[in-house]
């Protein structure tokens, strides 16, 4: 019977036509992001970070630029952690390479910028700002 497919298609169409409309008024409301969302900025927990540079070695595009200093006790400290967002392909290899799980993505999907300088993000400075605003 040739009308069977037509009836099934019309059933789907009418279901969407009379169903509940799901409109998000974007600037005022934001879509919730899932746990597996990859995007936005890298969030560095500088309390957990051991400055091993495995994340930078795991990045295929060299989007991470780390500066590490060693003190007199031979302990490594992260001075800067620059993430070049324009180079990043959000492959998640940097997060998977971290042995202490100090990296994660934030849930910000608004990644547009007018200037190239705005596409470089220092995660150490942001971690200190977050910690300063919480205390």
Q: Please state, in angstroms and as integers, the Cα–Cα distance from residue 60 to each residue in 2, 28, 63, following that order.
A: 53, 37, 8
107 within domain boundaries? yes
Residues in a beta bridge with 7: none
Query: Cβ atoms within 10 A of the Cβ of 46, count?
Result: 17
115 within domain boundaries? yes
8 within domain boundaries? no
Beta carbons within 8 Å of 134's beta carbon, 6+ residues apart? none
Does 24 score more than 90 pLDDT? Answer: no
50 within domain boundaries? yes
Residue 20 token pair: 């509940």
pLDDT: is 59 or 2 the higher one? Answer: 59
Q: Which of 26-40, 58-72, 85-99 has the lowest mean pLDDT?
A: 26-40
CATH of the domain at 107: 3.30.70.3270
Q: What is the pTM of this model?
A: 0.72
129 within domain boundaries? yes
Total tally of structural domains belonging to the chain: 1
Residue 86 belongs to domain spanning = 33-134
Segment 15-39 shows an average pLDDT of 87
Which pLDDT tens digit goes with each residue over 67-119? 999 999 988 988 899 999 989 999 999 999 999 999 999 888 887 889 988 89
Q: What is the C-alpha to C-alpha distance for residues 4 and 86, in angstroms, rounded to an integer?
A: 50
């Amino acid at each position: 019977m040739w009308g069977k497919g037509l009836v099934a298609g019309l059933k789907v169409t009418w279901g969407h036509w009379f169903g509940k409309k799901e409109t998000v008024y974007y600037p005022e409301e934001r879509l919730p992001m899932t746990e597996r969302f990859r995007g936005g900025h890298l969030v560095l927990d500088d309390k957990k970070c051991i400055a091993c540079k495995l994340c930078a070695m795991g990045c295929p595009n060299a989007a991470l630029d780390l500066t590490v200093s060693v003190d007199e006790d031979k302990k490594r400290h992260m001075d800067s952690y620059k993430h070049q967002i324009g180079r990043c392909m959000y492959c998640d290899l940097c997060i998977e390479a971290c042995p202490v799980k100090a990296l994660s993505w934030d849930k910000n999907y608004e990644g547009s910028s007018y200037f190239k300088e705005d596409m470089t993000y220092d995660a150490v400075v942001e971690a200190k700002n977050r910690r300063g605003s919480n205390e």
